[in-house]
């Protein structure tokens, strides 16, 4: 599948060092990601050409979403399940949006925080690495909000954990780190179910 353009980096130190994609290109790649994860039950899911393309273009696409913070949301118990990890992330997303946009945020699709989360620690302590795009218009503090909302979400399932938030100063470097398990086009073991986008919870309230 041809996305119709190449990805390029602007000179270091300029406003973009950010990789920018037009809306149509972002929409195409988002559709591919959804198709790839939906295809994980297919007989030969990793042989599909678009999957290799997504691996190669995922980091640039994530950069185009202009993440401002890297948030690590962790569980302090090995008892946490994969299902719980996703459910708690959904609650965290809802609490975050309510804090920033108010109780009726779900009525306006434009009033949604944008993020991409990668689940790690499958064989130990589960944790999410979240690439969060914090809106410039809010007077809320990203670190305080993310931490409080995570503890609140954990309390709903009687689990404990912690959150670590850092401002992104090297966008491509941080994104590449978070997406490291998706970066090798020769690796057929990537599980796209462990990548969650804020758009996946767009119907949540």
Q: Domains in the chain, start-ordered, CATH in brackets? A: 23-64 (no CATH), 69-201 (3.30.70)
Element holding 120 (H helix, E strand): strand 114-120
23-37, 41-55, 98-112: least confident range:
41-55
> What's the confidence (pLDDT) of residue 19?
43
**DSSP state letter for 110:** T
| pLDDT band for position 22 (cuts 50, 70, 90) | low
Task: Specify which residues 117 forms β-bridges with.
Answer: 130, 196
In the three-class reduction of DSSP (H, G, I as helix; E, B as strand; rest coil), residue 100 is classed as helix
Task: Specify which residues 115 forms β-bridges with.
Answer: 132
> What's the confidence (pLDDT) of residue 117?
94
> What's the confidence (pLDDT) of residue 105?
81
> What's the confidence (pLDDT) of residue 32?
64
Per-residue model confidence as pLDDT tens digits over 67-91? 999 999 999 888 788 889 999 999 9
Per-residue model confidence as pLDDT tens digits over 95-127? 999 999 888 887 777 788 999 999 998 778 899
> What's the confidence (pLDDT) of residue 176?
87
8-22, 131-145, 149-163: least confident range:
8-22
Best CA proximity match to 94, nearest among 156, 37, 175: 156
């Amino acid at each position: 599948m041809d996305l119709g353009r190449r990805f390029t980096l602007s000179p270091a130190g300029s406003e973009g060092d950010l990789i920018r994609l037009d809306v149509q290109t972002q929409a195409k790649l988002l559709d591919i990601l959804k198709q790839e994860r939906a295809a994980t039950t297919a007989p030969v899911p990793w042989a599909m050409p678009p999957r290799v393309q997504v691996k190669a273009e995922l980091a640039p696409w994530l950069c185009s979403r202009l993440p401002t913070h890297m948030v690590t949301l962790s569980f302090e118990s090995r008892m946490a399940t994969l299902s719980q990890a996703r459910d708690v992330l959904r609650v965290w997303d809802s609490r975050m949006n309510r804090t920033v946009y108010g109780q009726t945020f779900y009525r306006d699709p434009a009033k949604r925080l944008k993020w991409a989360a990668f689940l790690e620690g499958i064989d130990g302590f589960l944790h999410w690495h979240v690439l969060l795009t914090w809106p410039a218009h809010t007077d809320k503090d990203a670190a305080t909000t993310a931490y409080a909302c995570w503890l609140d979400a954990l309390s709903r399932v009687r689990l404990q954990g912690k959150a670590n938030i850092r401002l992104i100063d090297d966008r491509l470097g941080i994104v590449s780190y978070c997406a490291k398990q998706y970066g090798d086009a020769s690796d057929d073991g990537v599980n796209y179910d462990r990548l969650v986008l804020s758009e996946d919870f767009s119907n949540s309230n």
